[in-house]
Amino acid sequence: MIMNNTIGIRHEDKYNMERRAPLIPKHIKKLIENQNINVIVQSSPKRVFKDNEFVKAGAIITDNLSESPVIIGIKEISLSFFEKDKTYVFFSHVIKGQEYNMPMLKKMMELKCNLIDYETIVDEFGRRLIFFGKFAGLAGMINSLWSLGLRLKEQGHETPFLRIKQSHKYDSLDEAKKVISEVGYEIAEKGLVKELIPMVIGFTGYGNVSNGAQEILQLLPIKEIFTNELLTLKDRSTIPNNLLYKVIFKEEDLSEPVLKDYEFELNDYYANPQNYRSKFEQYIPHLTVLMNCMYWDERYPRIVTKDYLEKLFSQGTPKLTVIGDVTCDTNGSIECTHKGTEIEDPIFVYNPFTRKPTMGYKGEGILVMSVDILPSELPRESSIAFSDVLLKYIKPIANADYSVSFNELDLPGPIKKALILHKGKLTPDYKYIAEYL
């Protein structure tokens, strides 16, 4: 039996502002001292945890990870990094057949690599066990409120939201929350101008990402309403100016059966999404901010199309001011999200008439915040939470004998289910990816 007790932590190089670590120094110290795991850490000048912190924990700092048979990372890895027969653990973004990552997957197959993907580590109910989703929501909501302040000022409205900064400019999540709470007190005491009320923030999705975003919004004076109330909210005789409204859209609010005599049925929607169409457009004119926090792939209807935005803006400047596209699928559920943006250049204004984006917060159209690596705007807190869960799986991943057959491979259930490649071949649950290669 081939045993291994060494793991390597790679330096993240896909984005300049990617500062997260999959395992933190405190947990690495436990692996070394309590579980007899050797840890090699690739040196990084930008990682939120410094090299000397890993050294103090007992790790070896190096410029390359050639001595480690198991490599732990976060984001996609460049083709030149892969080595024959090694095991890699990271977010590969291949399970939807993403075209831009197929060359990477092919390279791993050629080199007979093993691939474990965090995104597919789930429990018996299909719930993800290791994720950054909540932190994407936290940072996404902070960024969207910051964007709202900038965009409203551009439209001639000075608001307390101008006090909010982009997430990564705070030293900690607690500091960001303190500022947003102060903004909330100011709104509660002084209110907003008549032109901006009722101010409504809508959320698609109700999982980890959405919960993170809602956690930030709850720091403001908020009242939650149902979707049917949203449609008549503006008609109320009195609307307080010191209150914001929150509405959460579930699947049945987003889509309806194509055939009129059929009712929405959740299991059928997931099994046969081609039989459904979007009904979300009825709600869009009533929203100030749309936080898109749901899972989406091309089988499902889009919720905001380019055609609809052109129609909406043809009727004058709409209420909808900001779309926080945390889901961030290119040309996806929010069709005008043309790309995932970088932390250094996070927002753009999409012009529905020219159908072109302009980076920044100026210009005609709708402002979109679509940062691709939102959790890295809160690098310390997100790394700690991620490492807390990943820690318990490291020893079995490191000690596994990957030379045996897939059936004989001894890994915890959730990890084995997340093994996309074994010795360079797609495992049974992921054979379907071959059609995208």
Q: Which whole number is the average pLDDT over 165-194?
A: 97
Give the containing element (helix H, strand E) for 426: strand 425-426
pLDDT tens digits, residue range 153-177? Answer: 999 999 999 999 999 999 999 999 9
pLDDT at 129: 87
Residue pair 312/353 in contact (Cβ under 8 Å)? The answer is: no
Same fold, 6-112+379-428 and 134-377: yes
More confident residue, 124 or 81: 81
Domain-wise residue ranges, the chain: 6-112+379-428, 134-377
Q: Coil, strand, or helix at residue 68?
A: coil
Q: What angle do CA 259, 260, 262 make, to 5 degrees?
A: 75
pLDDT tens digits, residue range 242-300? Answer: 999 999 999 999 999 999 889 999 999 999 999 999 999 999 999 999 999 999 988 99
What are the φ and ψ backbone dihedral angles of 117, each rounded to 5 degrees?
-110, 125
What are the φ and ψ backbone dihedral angles of 38, each rounded to 5 degrees?
-85, 135
pLDDT at 1: 41
Query: Does 3.40.50.720 match the CATH number of domain 6-112+379-428?
Result: yes
pLDDT tens digits, residue range 36-68? Answer: 999 999 999 999 999 999 999 999 999 999 999
Q: Which whole number is the average pLDDT over 201-212?
A: 96
Torsion of CA 167, 201, 195, 190, to 10 degrees: -60
pLDDT tens digits, residue range 247-263? Answer: 999 999 999 999 988 99
Which residues are CB-neighbours of 381 under 8 A, at least 6 positions away? 135, 172, 173
- 199 has a pLDDT exceeding 90: yes
Cα separation, 121 vs 131, in Å, equals: 9
Residue pair 323/284 in contact (Cβ under 8 Å)? The answer is: no
Place of tokens 């055939």: 259
pLDDT at 2: 47
* Strands (E) located in 121-250: 199-204, 222-224, 244-249
Cα separation, 182 vs 202, in Å, equals: 22
- 3 has a pLDDT exceeding 70: no
Which residues are CB-neighbours of 90 under 8 A, at least 6 positions away? 22, 71, 72, 73, 74, 75, 76, 77, 117, 118
Cα separation, 51 vs 90, in Å, equals: 21
Which residues are CB-neighbours of 257 under 8 A, at least 6 positions away? 263, 264, 275, 276, 277
Instruction: Quickly name the fold that domain 134-377 has.
Output: Rossmann fold (3.40.50)
pLDDT at 4: 79
Give the containing element (helix H, strand E) for 90: strand 87-90
- What percentage of residues in the chain have a pLDDT greater than 70? 99
Cα separation, 46 vs 65, in Å, equals: 18
Q: Which whole number is the average pLDDT over 369-394?
A: 96
- 89 has a pLDDT exceeding 60: yes
pLDDT tens digits, residue range 338-360? Answer: 999 999 999 999 999 999 999 99
* pLDDT averaged over every residue in the chain: 95
Q: What angle do CA 119, 124, 128 make, to 5 degrees?
A: 25
Kindly list the strands in the beta sheet with 347-351, ordered across the sheet, starting from the edge strand earlier in the chain.
222-224, 244-249, 199-204, 289-292, 322-325, 366-369, 347-351, 356-359
Strand 38-42, strand 60-62: pairing? parallel
